[in-house]
A and B are shown apart, each in its own frame.
Chain A
Amino acid sequence: MIKINDLHAKIGEKEILKGLSLEVKAGEIHAIMGPNGAGKSTLASILAGREDYEVTAGQVDFQGEDLLELSTEDRAREGLFLAFQYPVEIPGVSNINFLRTAINEIREYNKEEPVSAKDFMAMVREKSALVELDSKLASRSVNEGFSGGEKKRNEIFQMAMLAPKLAILDETDSGLDIDALRIVANGVNKLRTSENATIVITHYQRLLDHIVPDFVHVLYDGKIVKTGGKELALELEEKGYDWIKAELAN
């Protein structure tokens, strides 16, 4: 699905990713954990195409395409989805209208017919139920006046609508209470198939109780320094990141 090889990136003069490699196959869930400042969100931003970062070395292969050569929108159209850590409020732009535009532009890119109004509304009803998002919220301005939990559920609702091949959830658990966490995780689990993959970026282990990863990676100082199964997350929870730092120092 995606193969990241020796990725180096900087913002301004500051090097943030220092040779990150990672491969995710279809059907897999990978968790990327790590202390603040390790480069977790930078990785998500670079994969989505944010222009603030400069990639200085390395490659990213996404289903045979050179991901870094694609525009942000073409990455989305190829099936990459980023659930934002801080979803943006866009006053006046309705969630539904923008999603219909998005879906139709993605379809056009894939040389498919636009979605009919009827099918689209049926989809909205079905997918908003998946994350228990009030359909009234679904038709309001994008994230405007939404609570923290509603914003995150809206991210997963959009993910459900767009049905990406690879979803990157950037700190989706931040700011969520336990109920919202369960709803969000439940939505993600229901969307899981053998054809798609998920990268869960998180600081804490608790989300991984609900979204069970196949692999857990520790990102530290711009690199993946340790990879293990889901038990690694528990170990990190118990021992903290200092343990990793100490291990690396030796």
Chain B
Amino acid sequence: MSVDLNSTPLFFSELKETILPLSENEKKNSISFLNENKLPTTRNEAWKYTRLAKLGKSKFISSNSELESIDQYNIDPSATTLVFVNGFFSEELSSNDCPDNLTWSLLSQKNKIEETISDESEYFNCLNSAFLVEGVELNIADKAIMKNPIQIIHVLNGDAIISNFRIVVNAGKSSEASIITGFFSENGDSQFSNVISEINVAENAKLTMDKLQYETESTFHISTEKVKQARNSVFTINTATLNGGLVRNNVVVDVDGENCNTHMNGAYLLKNKQHVDNHTLVNHNVPNCDSFELYKGVMDDKSTAVFNGKVIVHKDAQKINAFQSNGNVLISDDATVNSKPELEIFADDVKCSHGSTTGQLDDEAIFYLQCRGLSKKSAHQLMVSAFIGEVLEKFENENVRTYINGLLKSRFNWDYVS
């Protein structure tokens, strides 16, 4: 079976089926799903506020490309770095050495890619499976305490490039590690990153992911992190979305073991016509776990943001503490936000809270600062930094914070004051 190219031209009609060793089932099911289904529309609850029409009208190509250097994307110079350009691995730009307690492999080099992550009813998951270009699997040894982070730098280079890319992380028992993912783009318009990450956090492991998105205002970016936590583990994901045209982040965490901690933090700063949509889902499947979620955004110009955070506390998952908060500041009259926190609780002994606020900068505070000699712009900047700083402080890695400050400086011409 192959993708039916005789029907109306589709945004993926130029693409070739993946040659990666996915199971025949996964390939077959994904392709038939794509043939039988259209792009989700706003009638689909999960895409209610995010329109994909423009993506559907584009036509993407997949092609390898080379970069001179990744100096400008080197978020944390102390990290073990793996570089992917248009999804393809770039050996020369990646680190030569690898710490003893880490093994990694390209998905193209594996004999078989496990079928654990596929969701054959989700459009972009199927797209990823059908046209998967490359991926990387990181295995962190049991008891490994990784001193330096592992950094995956993904760069789109060229017009209309699509990268269907995967990241698999297996954090071994009692290991401690942090992973940085950075998404960038250059030299081209209408690019598309479609990324799926599968993250398995074993017993007693502690894993942190810092995710930076800084593609262009014409880039589509859809990514999904699927996380599974075993007992006594701690998982943190910090997402900073600082550029991108249409960005959709899905974070799905299954807390499958007791005594877990889950932290999800997100900062998004938008301007012009950017659209950023953060969807998170925490499944508390077992008792005695805590989850904390803090997403904050600042929207300027005609940008739009969507936040949908869902926490499900399943039956018998008692003694759960789940806290969720989403705050938004609209700087312009034309910016919009749709925020929807959701709690579904099927257990009776839980402590859950959620809150969502949307407002503008406090005029009284701005006047006060101006009365002390600050320009309106500086006053705004101080107030915005204070607001978003609460999330940026969650990035514990100082190199990452410094890099984020640099991006804020170049995109918004202001310094984040910590």
Q: Tell which of B367, B376, B387 has the most Cβ of chain A within 10 Å.
A: B367
Whether the pair A92, B389 counts as a contact (CB closer than 8 A) is: yes
Tell me, yes or no, whether A21 is within 8 Å of chain B by CB.
no
8 Å CB contact of A72 from B370, B383, B385? B370
Tell me, yes or no, whether A93 is within 8 Å of chain B by CB.
yes
Measured between C-beta atoms, what is the minimum distance from B387 to chain A in Å? Answer: 6
Whether the pair B374, A92 counts as a contact (CB closer than 8 A) is: no
Tell me, yes or no, whether A54 is within 8 Å of chain B by CB.
no
With a cutoff of 8 Å between Cβ atoms, the chain B residues found around residue A97 in the complex are 382, 417
Whether the pair A73, B364 counts as a contact (CB closer than 8 A) is: no
| Bound-complex Cα distance A71 to B387 (A) | 25
Measured between C-beta atoms, what is the minimum distance from B305 to chain A in Å? Answer: 20
- Contact A101:B383 (CB < 8 A) given known A88-B364, A90-B369: no
Tell me, yes or no, whether B359 is within 8 Å of chain A by CB.
no
Report, as a range, how many residues of chain B touch the other chain: 20 to 34
Tell me, yes or no, whether B254 is within 8 Å of chain A by CB.
no
Whether the pair A72, B367 counts as a contact (CB closer than 8 A) is: yes
Whether the pair A93, B383 counts as a contact (CB closer than 8 A) is: yes
With a cutoff of 8 Å between Cβ atoms, the chain A residues found around residue B382 in the complex are 90, 93, 97-98, 101
Whether the pair A102, B372 counts as a contact (CB closer than 8 A) is: yes
Whether the pair B370, A92 counts as a contact (CB closer than 8 A) is: no
Measured between C-beta atoms, what is the minimum distance from B412 to chain A in Å? Answer: 16
Interface size for A (C-beta < 8 A) is: 33
Q: Restricting to A218-240, which residues have a CB under 8 Å from any CB of B?
A: none
Tell me, yes or no, whether A55 is within 8 Å of chain B by CB.
no
| Bound-complex Cα distance A128 to B374 (A) | 21
Q: Restricting to A91-124, which residues have a CB under 8 Å from any CB of B?
A: 91-94, 97-99, 101-103, 105-106, 109
Whether the pair A105, B386 counts as a contact (CB closer than 8 A) is: no
With a cutoff of 8 Å between Cβ atoms, the chain A residues found around residue B364 in the complex are 88
With a cutoff of 8 Å between Cβ atoms, the chain A residues found around residue B365 in the complex are 88-90, 93, 142
8 Å CB contact of B386 from A75, A76, A92, A102? A92
Whether the pair A162, B373 counts as a contact (CB closer than 8 A) is: yes
| Bound-complex Cα distance A98 to B375 (A) | 11
Whether the pair A99, B370 counts as a contact (CB closer than 8 A) is: no
Tell me, yes or no, whether B371 is within 8 Å of chain A by CB.
yes
Tell me, yes or no, whether B120 is within 8 Å of chain A by CB.
no
Q: Restricting to A61-103, which residues have a CB under 8 Å from any CB of B?
A: 71-73, 75-77, 81-82, 84, 87-94, 97-99, 101-103
| Bound-complex Cα distance A48 to B371 (A) | 7
Whether the pair A77, B373 counts as a contact (CB closer than 8 A) is: yes
With a cutoff of 8 Å between Cβ atoms, the chain A residues found around residue B385 in the complex are 92-93
With a cutoff of 8 Å between Cβ atoms, the chain A residues found around residue B373 in the complex are 73, 76-77, 102-103, 105-106, 109, 162
Measured between C-beta atoms, what is the minimum distance from B375 to chain A in Å? Answer: 5
Measured between C-beta atoms, what is the minimum distance from B296 to chain A in Å? Answer: 11
- Contact A91:B368 (CB < 8 A) given known A102-B374, A162-B373: no
Tell me, yes or no, whether B250 is within 8 Å of chain A by CB.
no
| Bound-complex Cα distance A84 to B371 (A) | 10
Tell me, yes or no, whether A158 is within 8 Å of chain B by CB.
yes
With a cutoff of 8 Å between Cβ atoms, the chain B residues found around residue A245 in the complex are none
| Bound-complex Cα distance A72 to B364 (A) | 13
With a cutoff of 8 Å between Cβ atoms, the chain A residues found around residue B387 in the complex are 92
Tell me, yes or no, whether A125 is within 8 Å of chain B by CB.
no
- Contact A105:B368 (CB < 8 A) given known A90-B386, A92-B389: no
Whether the pair B362, A98 counts as a contact (CB closer than 8 A) is: no
Whether the pair A92, B372 counts as a contact (CB closer than 8 A) is: no
- Contact A82:B371 (CB < 8 A) given known A91-B386, A92-B389: yes
| Bound-complex Cα distance A109 to B389 (A) | 28
Whether the pair B378, A90 counts as a contact (CB closer than 8 A) is: no
B17-59 contact mask (Cβ, 8 Å, vs A): 1 or 0: 0000000000000000000000000000000000000000000
Q: Which residue of B lies closest to A50 (CB)?
A: B367
| Bound-complex Cα distance A162 to B369 (A) | 13
- 15 A-B pairs with C-beta separation under 8 A: A48-B371, A72-B370, A76-B370, A76-B371, A81-B371, A82-B371, A84-B368, A87-B368, A90-B369, A93-B365, A101-B382, A102-B374, A103-B373, A105-B375, A109-B373
